[in-house]
Amino acid sequence: MNLKQCYRFYTIVKVLLQYGLDELIPAKPFTRSIRLARRLFFWIRPQHQDQALGIRLRLALQTLGPIWIKFGQMLSTRRDLFSAEMADQLALLQDQVEPFDGEIARREIEQALGGDLSQWFDDFNPQVLASASIAQVHTAKFNANQPEAGQEVVIKVIRPAIRPIIEADIALMYKLARLIPRLSEQGRRLRAEEVVREYEKTLLAELDLCQEMANAVQLRRNFAQSEMLYIPKMYEQFCRQNVIVMERIYGISVSDIEGLKQNGTNMQLLAERGVQVFFTQVFRDSFFHADMHAGNIFVSYQHPENPQYIGIDCGIVGSLNQEDKRYLAENFLAFFNRDYHRVAQLHIDSGWVPADTNVQELEQAFRVVCEPIFAKPLAEISFGQVLLNLFNTARRFQMEVQPQLVLLQKTLLYIEGLGRQLYPQLDLWQTAKPFLQQWLNDQIGVKAMYRNLQEKMPYFRAHFADLPEALYQALQQQSVISQQLHQINQRLQQQAKAEQRQRYCLVLTTLLWLGTLSKIEQLPLWLSLSGFILGGIFALLGLKKQK
């Protein structure tokens, strides 16, 4: 580490100690060393001891800055790693930081687009519309030179020189993460390096706004003409790695419950549509918005009796392959039918746990953890909590962390919390079950087989003409392989016979020599010599065969 990195590392450790986070380390000898180091090197005493550990962790991350705030937000979704109280505190972290100067933003945008803003836009507002740790947004209008003249737009621009800052702090996070497993068994269970790696991947992806634009275009295409979800239009000709331009939208924040009610919004339908949007994205499209917190979701002012969501900030998305979707849907259905044997078997069949896992032991583990959940009415059962319980239990059976499933579980928790905030009587199971059942029927039934055959028919037609030649070549190869196997078999048989003759020769040699030696005093000289010579001949024959 250079001097600057050393100072930053010192600052990070000092803040963590200042908030007494060494309490997270259970190893007593090490804890005593930390307390001594706090006084010798950092000149601080424990502070904020009157506050809960989760609150202190949140305050420490706020003190360390926006990159650590986003890290805390991500950790708040990993309820498999932290207690509910600590995760709830981390969820309170807000990614709101001071904006950088509007003229600097203008300069960054002009440099990215390669010209003065007046070539394309009127009314560029240097006052920031919203600001976060990675980027901020400004408003403008297309000028008369553009096909959509007068259209209000939002310009999003990455903070200048943010990448080196992120990379430096990520490198220090890795150093801290490598220390954690050495401190305790609990530290090893946290898989700290894996968590940092996941965060690094997410954060660096957010630095590429072209990726965000591509995600938004895909989501918009998936929900074209949909009454449930609207994704603002992206203007691809203005897309750069650090700048994107999109349609400006107006809506009510989904967290503004009073505002939604005053607008006459059908709250029950809105809540149910949130669940339907999520399951449609996951199971129909295999492409879901994985950052659906309240700051990224709005509700259109128009048609409050038939409310429509508006989704922005598509930097983080997730996807599931066909097998994962099928196993997930069957897991939910088996769980709500309390068929824990089926749940266990699905985890093994999917490869989420090792193939040699004892299905009865896994079934019993699921039963112990999940059965108490049914003490609640079905309407109060949390899908996200079900997934969390299943994954936590499966980890005891060496289930590997599946990043796409972690994203799914996080998003599902957001959707559930949002739905019940909008309409507390929301019954997620009744809303989701028909969708899951219909999807499974579509995937497994006769119609699904016919559809798969239709989809593959162009491939079959394209390669049908090659089938006779491929069949002839396969038969020729089979004939060659059969001949080679016959030759190998003959050689093995000859070798076996040779080894058998060798053993006989050596046995006869041994018997002749031992017999001659045992009777040498009683036999005539010529007979003794004959026995040794004959044994020698058999020995030579055996050695010859061995060569």
CA 74, CA 196: separation in Å to the nearest integer? 10
Residue 359 counted as an annotated binding residue: no
Residue 539 counted as an annotated binding residue: no
DSSP 374-417: GGS-GGG--HHHHHHHHHHHHHTTTPPP-HHHHHHHHHHHHHHH
C-alpha distances in Å from residue 417, one per residue of 353, 411, 516: 29, 10, 96
Residue 156 counted as an annotated binding residue: yes
Look up residue 252 and give its amino acid.
I
Residue 136 counted as an annotated binding residue: yes
Q: Is the dihedral of CA 70, 73, 79, 81 positive or negative?
A: positive
Residue 255 counted as an annotated binding residue: no
Residue 300 counted as an annotated binding residue: no
Residue 129 counted as an annotated binding residue: yes
Residue 135 counted as an annotated binding residue: yes
Residue 133 counted as an annotated binding residue: yes
Instruction: Please report where in the chains the tokens 């590429």 appear, as a residue.
Output: 208
Active site residue 291: yes
CA 48, CA 51: separation in Å to the nearest integer? 6
The DSSP symbol for 234 reads B
Q: Which residues of 165-182 are buried (b: 16+ CB within 10 A; e: fewer)?
A: ebebbbebbeeebeebbe
Minimal CA–CA distance to 158: which of 271, 25, 45, 315?
A: 315
CA 155, CA 462: separation in Å to the nearest integer? 47
CA 104, CA 155: separation in Å to the nearest integer? 14
Say which of 22, 169, 291, 427 is annotated catalytic: 291
Coil, helix or strand at residue 265: coil
> Hey, what are 161's tokens?
């020189």
CA 443, CA 452: separation in Å to the nearest integer? 9
Alpha helices in 423-547 (DSSP H): 428-444, 446-464, 467-518, 525-546
Q: Which residues pair with 136 in a beta bridge?
A: 131, 157
Residue 386: exposure state from Cβ atoms within 10 A (0-12, 13-18, ≥19): buried
Look up residue 249 and give its amino acid.
I
CA 448, CA 438: separation in Å to the nearest integer? 12
> Hey, what are 90's tokens?
């981390």
* Annotated binding-site ranges for ATP: 129-137, 156
Could you list the active site residues?
291
* Annotated binding-site ranges: 129-137, 156
